[in-house]
Amino acid sequence: MSALRPRRRGAGVPAALVVAVLAAAVLSVMIGAKTVPPADVWHALWFPGGTENDIIVRSLRVPRTVLGVLAGVALGVAGALMQGHTRNPLADPGLLGVTQGAAFAMVLAIIVFGVSDIYGYIWFGLAGALIASVGVFAIGAVGGRGGPSPLTLALAGTAVSAFLYALTSGLVLVDEQAMDVFRFWQAGSIAGRGAGVAWQILPFIVAGLVLAMANAPGLNALSLGEDVARSLGRNVTATRALGITAVTLLTAGAVAACGALAFIGLIVPHLARALSGPDHRKLVPYSGLLGAAALLLADVTGRILARPGELEAGVVLALLGAPFFVMLVRRRKPVRL
């Protein structure tokens, strides 16, 4: 119980996080192969004309930034929920087979159906992610009452993920074109997706966020143990099902569009937990904001580091974020799940 340090904080932390996301978004619109000065950004956003900067901002930078915010929020929130439900610090949002389901469906789409444009892959990725997650939940629920236990879910998810990953790697080894798409998808990036992609995944992410916020109080009760939650009047099965639906929608949307970035959802909640403590009503939104800020900053840094080319956001995030995370883990006593 030492984790429950009673510490009163006002609106400071959420406000700071919102400012961080906005600042990261501004940087993301300004910085790139061609730097666009703030005045031109303002002009492009409100009084678009036909200048070069207007086109860069409106057709490239803004869609990319919006996608980064969507994916970052989605993965941060999904990670917080997943770790809360499984009570396992190793749980990432892809744990229930979502990431590998998306990967397998996309590779299958390329090899079997000859799909070659990104809008096509994404539908397959979303479908694969949803099917895999439902499958894992069904395996966990087979033959038992009262919904699957977190341990069964985690193990079943890991098994299904490993199975799908094996099939995917078998497929990409025989098809060079699929390998070429897969290796870039695997590294994770929000570059070059266009505004259409953000619209494609928006409904999934909005629905997921609504469910996630509805799930947070129930998750607090569950973290006291299933028996206590039950005696507090919570329906454990319904709470779990709600949380897992939210995680699936959020992760499927983010991963199908941006690649295997699910480890943002692994690390960000641990960072957010240091700010929020164990209360999921705070942890869930904090994780979302932190996820968005982290993904955007990583993306911007990737554009600066490898100018005029870019480094994938996933790689930068791991290179910069993970050492920071390790340092944090070493310096403080971690807030346990």
Partner 1 sequence: MTGVRLPHARPYRAGRVSWLIRPRGVVAGLVGLVLITALVALSLRIGDFPLSLAEIVDSLTGTGGNHFVVVELRLPRALTGVLVGAALGLSGAITQSIARNPLASPDILGVTSGASVTVVAVIVASGTVYGGASGPLASVGVPVAALAGGLAGAVIVYSLAWRRGLDGYRLVLVGVGVAAVFTNVKYWLMTTGDVNDSSRAMVWISGSLSGRGWEHVVPVAYALAVLVPLCLVGTRVLSALRFGDETATGLGVRLNTARALLLLGAVLLAAVAVAAAGPISFVALAAPQIALRLAGVAQPPLVVSAVTGAVLTSAADLAARTVFAPAELPVGVVTAVLGAPYLIYLLVRARREARS
Q: By the criterion CB under 8 A, which residues form the site for partner 1? A: 88-91, 139-140, 142-145, 148, 151-152, 154-156, 158-160, 162-163, 165-167, 169-170, 172-173, 176, 179-180, 183-184, 186-188, 260, 263, 266-267, 270, 311-312, 314-315, 317-319, 321-323, 325-326, 329-330, 334, 336
Q: Provide, rounded to whole angstroms, the least separation between the CB of residue 286 and partner 1.
A: 18
Residue with smaller CB distance to partner 1, 167 or 213 = 167
CA angle 30, 208, 82 (to 5 degrees): 100
Sign for the CA dihedral angle at 146, 151, 154, 159 comes to: negative
Distance CA 222, CA 58 (A): 44
Q: Provide, rounded to whole angstroms, the least separation between the CB of residue 5 and partner 1.
A: 17
* Residue showing tokens 């996933």: 314
Q: Provide, rounded to whole angstroms, the least separation between the CB of residue 234 and partner 1.
A: 22
Q: Provide, rounded to whole angstroms, the least separation between the CB of residue 150 and partner 1.
A: 11
* Phi-psi sector, 282: left (phi>0), alpha (psi -120 to 50), beta: alpha
319: which 2 tokens? Answer: 């290179």
**Other Cβ atoms closer than 10 A to 5:** 10
Q: Provide, rounded to whole angstroms, the least separation between the CB of residue 142 and partner 1.
A: 5
Distance CA 220, CA 225 (A): 9
Which letter, b or e, does each residue of 204-239 get, where b requires 16 or more Cβ atoms within 10 Å of its Cβ?
A: bbeebbebbbebbebbbbbbeebeebeeeebebeeb
Distance CA 145, CA 149 (A): 10
Q: Provide, rounded to whole angstroms, the least separation between the CB of residue 263 and partner 1.
A: 5
Give the phi and the psi of residue 310 in degrees, each rounded to 5.
-145, 160
